[in-house]
A and B are shown apart, each in its own frame.
Chain A
């Protein structure tokens, strides 16, 4: 699983920035059929957490009601330079993490 992160490279101290992330994931509903007309088992990202310098700033519980390749955009106030850490888990227990840094002046 890969992810694309949208983040300003630099920000001012105390500024509210928008953090965007696009995760590559099929978010299977469990209703779709494959080419042999068998149901593709349900598999969606259920839990998503974003930490900034170790502190949790955003958490989401998702479901197959979120489109494939889920996109999330959420705000946060940045006070110091640091690293965003995004991590998520799907129904199969597969975990993944993505990281991105930001410079705060």
Chain B
């Protein structure tokens, strides 16, 4: 029993430590501050935006991303633009997509580059002037952009 308890401690501890450090790592990113730098000081509310990114990417060079925003897409109420922001990339604003009521639905797919594990932010600007956001945490095992070897 002693041996078993010892093993559990030795094997279990690094796992717990790793789990904590992952959470701590992602919570060190402040998406609200990043969002405000784009919205011109307007606080973006959570919701309406759906951001699909893989939890784990083997390679930061090409990570599939899909953004969907809940909106009736009518001339009176539609999504004006969708922005993709990165916490760690040399260029914070990865892309801006401009939509209009003609789009019918607000759904964009693309592939992004990520310079390491980070929290990705999707921001949607509505025709009424309100901003909505969603974040996704992605673990990147091999990053893009900042390493000189690629």
A and B co-occur in one complex: yes
B94–A57 CB distance below 8 A? no
- Shortest C-beta distance, A88 to chain B (Å), equals 13
Chain A residues within 8 Å of chain B by Cβ, number: 29
Whole-angstrom distance between the Cβ of A25 and the nearest chain B Cβ:
12
Bound state CA distance, A75 and B109, in angstroms? 10
Are A58 and B98 CB-contacts (below 8 A) given A16-B105, A29-B113, A67-B113? yes
Contact status B63-A67, CB under 8 Å = yes
- State how many angstroms separate the Cβ of B96 from the closest Cβ of chain A: 4
Name A31's contact: one of B90, B102, B108 (CB within 8 Å). B90
The answer on a CB contact under 8 Å between A77 and B104 is: yes
Main secondary structure of the interface of A (DSSP, over half): strand
Question: Does the CB pair B110–A66 fall under 8 Å?
Answer: yes
Interface string of B102-131 (1 = CB under 8 A from A): 111111111111000000000000000000
Stretch at the interface among B11-19, B30-38, B141-149: B141-149
Q: Does B93 sit at the interface, judged by CB under 8 A?
A: yes
Instruction: Please list the residues of chain B having a beta carbon within 8 angstroms of any beta carbon in chain A.
Output: 61-63, 84, 86, 89-91, 93-100, 102-113, 144-150
- Contacts A/B (CB < 8 Å), 22 sampled: A16-B104, A29-B90, A29-B144, A31-B147, A31-B148, A57-B103, A58-B98, A61-B93, A61-B96, A63-B93, A63-B94, A64-B91, A65-B84, A65-B93, A65-B113, A66-B112, A67-B110, A72-B110, A73-B110, A74-B99, A74-B108, A76-B102
